[in-house]
Amino acid sequence: GAMALLMVDLVKDHGLQYLLAATVLAGVLQLIAAALRLGALMRFVSRSVITGFVNALAILIFLAQLPELVGMPWPVHAVCAAGLAIIYLL
């Protein structure tokens, strides 16, 4: 989720080798957080804050993909609109 937005710029600026290094570093940090039992701190974060974070992340990912739609033929836009309608109606 949140890492995807960061990884695009990282790979674009520095290449794929930085993607591997960042992925390994993120994994090591998650293992350290698990060993220190930092997941227990999540009970102090309200559900509304988590929902807002996830929704904002979804909006940022969607906005990051919009430039890819520029110049595409109309069937692509129709499929995109249909997909958004399906997601909205779920």
Rounded mean pLDDT, 27-36: 95
Domain boundaries, the chain: 1-43, 45-90
pTM flag (> 0.85) = no
Decide: residue 11, CB within 10 A, 0-12 exposed, 13-18 middle, 19+ buried: middle
Question: 1: which residues sit within 8 A by CB, 6+ positions away?
Answer: 54, 57, 61
Tell me the percentage of the chain whose pLDDT exceeds 70: 99
